[in-house]
Amino acid sequence: MALPKLNVPKYKLKLPSDNRTVNFRPFLVKEEKLLLLATETGNESEIVVAVKDIIKSCTDITDVDKLATFDIEYLFLQIRTKSVGESVEVNVTCPDDDETEVKVTIPLDEIKVVKTRGHKKDIKLSSDVAISMTYPNLESFVSMNFGESDNQVDQIFQMAASCVESISDENQVYDCSTVPKKELLEFFDQLNSKQFGEIQKFFETMPKLSHTLKVTNPNTGVENEIVIEGLASFFE
């Protein structure tokens, strides 16, 4: 005799990047095991991969690998909220003495994707040349944040080259999806510091999962404002 099956509730949300409506469900025990195994290792790249696998299983999104990083983070938090609880406990270090740790409880529904005013994807490099950027996907994000390279400058260039959507001049728009990364890196080598700074600003100001909280240091009595960013920060 077959055992009964439990009904799993379904929910909807809108992706921060494009307001696309997505259907999702809470994750099940078999999927929670993936996350527990990853968090126990403390390896952030394994956490990200586990999150991606859970999103594939729990949503109707077929192009998870193409999602912007902040979409992935936001999606997972919504899934987790409906799965195991409305809050999470994390340890934070008080900035005033840089050593006292305080455990705080954060309501997950208060964690939002923060968009910086003035952020733009289309960047004017000169009077006749412009570049259009796209957000880093999971592969680019993992490579940039958890790769083995010690050369941070090289990582920035590699990330930027992976996120160029198009380059345009007075005569033509060049679709960069088929342009070899080597050519894009050579293009960046021609830029001056101010021009490449505009591209760096794109990454610095792009939407991110963020939560600001106030914590009083029990040893000094000082109230600290702490900003927590990135998915891994909410799973300490």
In sequence order, the 6+-apart residues with CB closer than 8 A to the CB of 115 are: 16, 207
What are 96-129's pLDDT values in tens digits? 999 999 999 888 888 889 888 889 999 999 999 9
Using CA atoms of 169, 174, 176, 179 in order, give the dihedral in degrees to the nearest 10: -110
> Residue 179: which pLDDT band, with cuts at 50, 70 and 90?
very high
Chain centroid to CA 91: 21
What are the start-end ranges of the H helices in the chain? 29-41, 44-58, 69-84, 138-146, 152-162, 181-189, 193-205
What are 30-83's pLDDT values in tens digits? 888 887 887 777 676 777 778 788 888 999 998 888 888 889 888 888 888 888
The predicted pLDDT at position 149 comes to 52
The predicted pLDDT at position 141 comes to 61
In sequence order, the 6+-apart residues with CB closer than 8 A to the CB of 209 are: 70, 73, 74, 77, 111, 112, 113, 114, 229, 230, 231
User: Amino acid identity of 73?
Assistant: E
State the Cα–Cα distance between residues 77 and 138, nearest whole angstrom. Answer: 16
Mean pLDDT value across residues 214-233: 88
What are 5-37's pLDDT values in tens digits? 767 789 999 999 888 999 999 888 888 888 788
> What three-state secondary structure class fits 204?
helix
Residue 212: beta bridge partners?
Answer: 227
Mean pLDDT of the chain: 85
What distances in angstroms separate CA 11 from CA 27, 78, 206, one per listed residue?
12, 10, 27
Residue 179, CB-side half-sphere exposure with 13 Å CA sphere? 18
* Residue whose tokens read 């009595």: 221
> What three-state secondary structure class fits 76?
helix
